[in-house]
C-alpha cells in the first residue's frame, strides 16, 4: 500500500520496509528459482522506490545479478543505487514503467515489483502481462493490497473509513482508473489470459505494539484518503484517530492488512 494522498516518500518506504520484508511470500521466491535461466540474471524491479525489493529478493536468487531499477522518481532511484545488496550490479531506468514492452524485456530473466500493481490501471496491468509473457519472462509481483483490513478491537467507524478508503484506492487519476484492491485478481486474470501459470500467496502485514510508528502513519494516511473521498467523514476523523492512537498507546491495537503476492510463469500453464 502506498501512503495515500502524498507522493511516495522515502521516509514512508523506510518505515514500511521491515513489515514488507516479513510479509512477502518467501515460498514464491523459492518456487521462482526453478524457472530462472543460468546466470548472470538480469532482473527488472518496476517501481523500485528505494530498492527494498532488491534488498529482500537478491539473496534469495541464485548467482550474480544485474538489477535494472525502474522508477519515475529520480530521488528514490538515487537512494536505491546507494543501498544495493551485496554482489549485485544495478542501473537506474528513469521514466514511466507502463511504457515497457516485450522488445525492451529481451534478455530479462525476471520482472519483479512490490507495492506497485494497485497504483496501475487495468490496461497497464494487461500491457505488463502481455510484455512479460511474449518474452517468456517470469514475474514476481508482491504486496498488492486486497482491501481486507482487520483492526482489533473494532471501532464503529472502521467500516465507513474502510469503504471510503477502498473507493479512494479505485479513484480515477488523469483518466486512469486505479485498480486498488482489484489489482491482484486483475493481474492474475491478465497473466492467465496470456498463457501464464499464476501462483498466488497471501502476504499480510500483521502489526502490533512493536510496529507502533508504522501503524500510526498507516492509519493517518488511511483516514486522510478516506476523508478526501468522503468529506462527510472529516468531522469524525479526529476523534476516530484519537481513539485508535489511545488503543495503540495502551498496547491493545492489532492490525492485519491484506496483501497478495503473485508469481506468473509464462508458458507453464497447468
Ligand atoms: C508504493 S511505492 C513502492 C516502492 C518499492 N517497490 C517498495 O516496495 O518499497 C511505488 C513506487 O512505484 C513508482 N511508480 C508508480 N507508478 C509508476 C510509473 N507509472 N512509472 C514509474 N514509476 C512508478 C513510484 O514512484 C514509487 O517509487
Q: Which residues contact 126 (CB under 8 A, 6 or more apart)?
A: 190
User: Is 179 touching ligand 1 by the criterion CB < 6 Å?
Assistant: no
The verdict on residue 174 lying in a domain is yes
- Residue of 13, 47, 79 to mutate, ligand 1, most atoms within 8 A of C-beta: 47
Domain that holds residue 151: 10-265
Query: Is the residue at 127 inside a domain?
Result: yes
pLDDT number for residue 267: 82
Has residue 5 been placed in a domain?
no
Cα 47 to middle of ligand 1, angstroms: 3
Q: What is the dihedral of CA 262, 130, 41, 66, to 10 degrees?
A: -100
Residue 269 has a pLDDT of 43
Atom of ligand 1 nearest to the CA of 116: 10
Q: Is 25 inside a domain boundary?
A: yes
Q: Which residue's CA is minimally distant from atom 3 of ligand 1?
A: 115
In a domain, 3, yes or no: no
Q: What's the domain count of the chain?
A: 1
- Along the chain (270 residues), what's the average pLDDT of each consecutive run of 10 residues? 58 97 98 92 98 98 96 97 94 97 96 98 98 96 98 97 98 96 98 97 98 97 97 97 97 98 81
- Count CA atoms within 13 Å of residue 58 on its CB side: 23
CA of 266 to the centre of ligand 1 (A): 24
CATH of the domain at 127: 3.40.50.150
Amino acid at each position: 500500500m502506498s501512503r495515500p494522498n502524498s507522493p511516495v516518500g522515502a521516509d514512508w518506504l523506510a518505515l514500511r520496509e521491515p513489515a514488507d520484508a516479513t510479509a512477502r511470500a518467501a515460498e514464491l521466491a523459492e518456487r521462482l528459482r526453478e524457472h530462472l535461466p543460468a546466470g548472470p540474471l538480469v532482473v527488472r524491479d518496476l517501481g523500485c522506490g528505494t530498492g527494498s525489493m532488491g534488498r529482500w529478493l537478491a539473496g534469495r536468487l541464485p548467482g550474480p545479478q544485474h538489477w535494472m531499477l525502474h522508477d519515475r522518481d529520480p530521488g528514490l532511484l538515487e537512494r536505491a543505487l546507494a543501498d544495493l545488496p551485496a554482489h549485485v550490479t544495478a542501473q537506474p531506468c528513469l521514466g514511466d514503467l507502463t511504457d515497457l514492452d516485450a522488445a525492451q524485456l529481451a534478455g530479462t530473466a525476471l520482472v519483479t515489483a512490490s507495492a506497485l500493481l494497485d497504483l496501475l490501471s487495468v490496461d497497464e496491468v494487461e500491457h505488463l502481462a502481455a510484455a512479460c509473457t511474449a518474452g517468456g519472462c517470469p514475474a514476481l509481483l508482491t504486496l498488492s493490497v486486497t482491501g481486507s483490513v482487520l483492526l482489533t478491537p473494532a471501532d464503529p467507524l472502521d467500516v465507513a473509513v474502510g469503504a471510503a478508503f477502498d473507493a479512494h484506492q479505485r479513484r480515477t487519476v488523469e483518466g486512469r482508473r486505479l485498480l486498488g484492491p482489484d489489482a491482484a485478481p486483475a493481474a492474475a486474470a491478465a497473466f492467465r489470459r496470456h498463457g501464464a501459470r499464476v501462483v498466488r500467496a497471501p502476504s499480510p502485514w500483521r502489526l502490533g505494539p512493536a510496529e507502533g510508528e508504522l501503524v500510526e502513519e498507516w492509519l493517518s494516511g488511511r483516514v486522510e484518503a478516506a476523508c478526501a473521498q468522503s468529506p462527510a467523514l472529516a468531522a469524525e476523523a479526529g476523534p476516530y484517530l484519537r481513539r485508535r492512537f489511545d488503543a495503540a498507546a495502551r498496547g491493545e491495537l492489532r492490525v492485519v492488512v491484506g496483501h497478495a503476492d503473485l508469481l506468473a510463469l509464462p508458458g507453464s500453464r497447468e
